[in-house]
Chain A
Amino acid sequence: MVLIRLTIKHLIFDRIFLVLTSLVLLFASVPVFSYFSMRQLQEISITMSLTLNSFILLLMTLFGGTLVIWRDIERKYTFTVLSYPITRTSYYLSKFFALVLVLFFISIVNFAVSAIVIKITASFYKSSLPIVWFNIFLAFVMEFLKYSLLLGFIFLFASFSTSFFTPVFSSIAVFIAGNASQGIYDYIMKGSSELSHLTKLAAKIVYYILPNFSSFDLVAYATYALPLHYKSIEFTSIYFFLYLGIVLSLGVAVFNKRDFS
């Protein structure tokens, strides 16, 4: 608990964190940009808000992950922190959940600011579509889950690496691959039978190993007020918890094995 509190305190007093937080101000630009679109003001403002939220969370995740775990290892803070009577597991998880809490808080702020921005923008030009706040809210929740999972990867990579680049760039790679995997998988599976069974099998394996980030994407549902598929959201949530559980367990296992010297 002490460690969670301290981690959060460190994070929010960091200069880079303040810079990233100030990106929230960018939400102010949403009405301006939407205005140029003439007609679809409401739709564009919802998409832009979600994209901006996503962008802020991504930077926060990458920066926070490195600050919170990698820097502790790099600067040898672990020598003192891990010599306290705590398990490595509780250290690792405290750090992780401290950051998840921060991401959660930022998501709430972003959602609140977005709500205001969307309301203002939508009032400029009457859209034929209703604003379904619940869809927008769920889209924010799913984004939050997505970046929590990405954070799990940063922690996993940081658990065995000593360099800055491995965790950051591996995580970015996982992020890109995880966003693209659904599309590529669909393409290969639908593709003609020219592709061998082996290719399809390999694609299947890679598809199941990589996190499927695109299933967290509810932007279209939020923007166009489409009816939600609750089954698939339910599935994605379960998928999230299982996947995060596995990534965290792996990270903890590796972290428990390593030497700090």
Chain B
Amino acid sequence: MEAIKVDNLKKTFKLKLKQVKALDGMTFNVNRGEIFGFLGPNGAGKSTTIKIITDLVRADSGSAYINGIPSTNHKARADIGFMPENPQYYDTLTGLDMLLFSASMFGYKDAKTQAYKLLEEFGLEDSAKVPLRKYSKGMIQRIGFAAALIHKPDILILDEPMSGLDPIGRMIFKKKMKELNRQGVTIFFSSHIIPDIEDICSRVVIVKDGKVVKDFNEVEIKYLTTSGFEIVVKNASGTGLDMGEKEISKNLYRIDCDKGNLINTLELLKDKRIEIIDIEPIKKDLEDVFIEILNG
């Protein structure tokens, strides 16, 4: 059974003067054990999808399931940890009390030790007794993440968990996410920060205009950025090779070829009995790749 299943969600927000189509057939599955990156530009419908999964927003049609339970049933949320986009918590509570409150809402007993452990892990031990209204944005983000973890959930749903975090915070979050994932926690998170996704995701789904435009698994993510190859050959002069080769050293030539053109190039080199010294992929920025995808 999938950890999260999203099936053909449609949602139009009705404002006074106009209608905004936020979701238009959003469909995907999050499998158990994945770190699933949900990537898309502003307004793509990421938060709306997440709010439907957590039952804060009701879809016009289509359905969402957590552990096979329809999202409109509160029991679907029994085993999830959730952090909304720009989270707001009862700001008169102290960090510690907020964690304990969160744990008690899940019926998780004995949360105190766990709470102190998390406060320390997220560098908040000095602010444990400080009310949340005195926390900075990044601190709220950290305590929010801790609150999503306190009851040891199986599935984490995080809406832009790393926005507003400093580099150290980002590192702590990524490390924690990887560690949890090793322990078997499924993580579903949205972002538009590509390096974050690149670093930790085993699956990336790209959305735009309320639907999925691309779905990459871990292996594909790795090779996604390879745009071509750099081939280094020997003794190419006088063979009539005409591939834009450049002499990079005495008797060594470099040929750049496109990703889809490798086989042809290699065959041509083989026909001409040219010795290949090295082949290396040319890497493009993942950022550029995504922009290409999003621009269709």
Instruction: Report which A residues bind B (CB closer than 8 A).
Output: 2-3, 6, 10, 13-14, 75-87, 257, 259-261
| Highest count of chain A CB atoms <10 Å: which of B48, B56, B92 | B56
Q: Which residue of the partner chain B has the closest CB to A6?
A: B101
Given contacts A10-B90, A80-B84, A261-B57, contact A87 B74 (CB under 8 A): yes
Among the stretches B75-83, B227-235, B245-253, the one at the interface with A is B75-83
Docked-complex contact A10 and B92, CB < 8 angstroms: yes
Q: Can you list 13 A-B contacts with CB-CB less than 8 angstroms, sorted by A residue number?
A: A2-B101, A6-B101, A10-B90, A14-B92, A76-B86, A80-B89, A84-B105, A85-B76, A85-B77, A85-B105, A87-B74, A261-B47, A261-B57
Docked-complex contact B74 and A86, CB < 8 angstroms: yes
- B2-25 interface (Cβ within 8 A of A): 13
Q: B51: CB under 8 A from chain A? A: yes
* Neighbouring B residues of A6 by C-beta, 8 Å: 90, 101
Docked-complex contact B57 and A83, CB < 8 angstroms: no
Docked-complex contact B13 and A261, CB < 8 angstroms: yes
Q: How far is the CB of A147 from chain B (nearest CB, A)?
A: 25
Chain B count of residues within 8 A CB distance of the other chain = 30
Complex Cα gap A3–B104 (Å): 9
| Highest count of chain B CB atoms <10 Å: which of A77, A81, A84 | A84
Q: B58: CB under 8 A from chain A? A: yes
Docked-complex contact A83 and B58, CB < 8 angstroms: no
Docked-complex contact A79 and B87, CB < 8 angstroms: yes
Docked-complex contact B105 and A86, CB < 8 angstroms: yes
Docked-complex contact A77 and B105, CB < 8 angstroms: no
Docked-complex contact A82 and B88, CB < 8 angstroms: no
| Highest count of chain A CB atoms <10 Å: which of B58, B82, B89, B105 | B105
Residue in A13, A80, A81, A84 whose beta carbon sits within 8 Å of that of B92 in the complex: A13
Docked-complex contact B57 and A259, CB < 8 angstroms: yes
Complex Cα gap A85–B56 (Å): 12
* Pairs of residues from A and B, 8 with the lowest C-beta to C-beta distance, nearest first: A84-B105, A260-B56, A85-B77, A79-B84, A76-B88, A85-B78, A259-B57, A83-B82
Complex Cα gap A184–B178 (Å): 70
* Neighbouring B residues of A80 by C-beta, 8 Å: 82, 84, 87-89, 102, 144, 147
Q: How far is the CB of B65 from chain A (nearest CB, A)?
A: 15
Q: Which residue of the partner chain A has the closest CB to B51?
A: A261
Complex Cα gap A77–B89 (Å): 6
Docked-complex contact B88 and A260, CB < 8 angstroms: no
Residue in B75, B88, B92, B101 whose beta carbon sits within 8 Å of that of A79 in the complex: B88
| Highest count of chain A CB atoms <10 Å: which of B47, B78, B87, B88 | B88
Q: How far is the CB of A66 from chain B (nearest CB, A)?
A: 16
* Neighbouring B residues of A83 by C-beta, 8 Å: 54-56, 77, 80, 82, 84
Q: B116: CB under 8 A from chain A? A: no
Q: How far is the CB of B174 from chain A (nearest CB, A)?
A: 23
Given contacts A2-B101, A2-B104, A261-B48, contact A77 B57 (CB under 8 A): no
Docked-complex contact B55 and A82, CB < 8 angstroms: yes
* Neighbouring B residues of A14 by C-beta, 8 Å: 92
> Interface digits, B79-119 against A, CB 8 Å rule (1 contact, 0 not)?
01010101111101000000001101110000000000000
Given contacts A85-B74, A86-B74, contact A79 B56 (CB under 8 A): yes
Q: Which residue of the partner chain B has the closest CB to A13?
A: B92
Complex Cα gap A259–B74 (Å): 15
Complex Cα gap A87–B74 (Å): 6
Q: How far is the CB of B55 from chain A (nearest CB, A)?
A: 7
Docked-complex contact A84 and B77, CB < 8 angstroms: yes
Complex Cα gap A75–B82 (Å): 18
Docked-complex contact A260 and B57, CB < 8 angstroms: yes
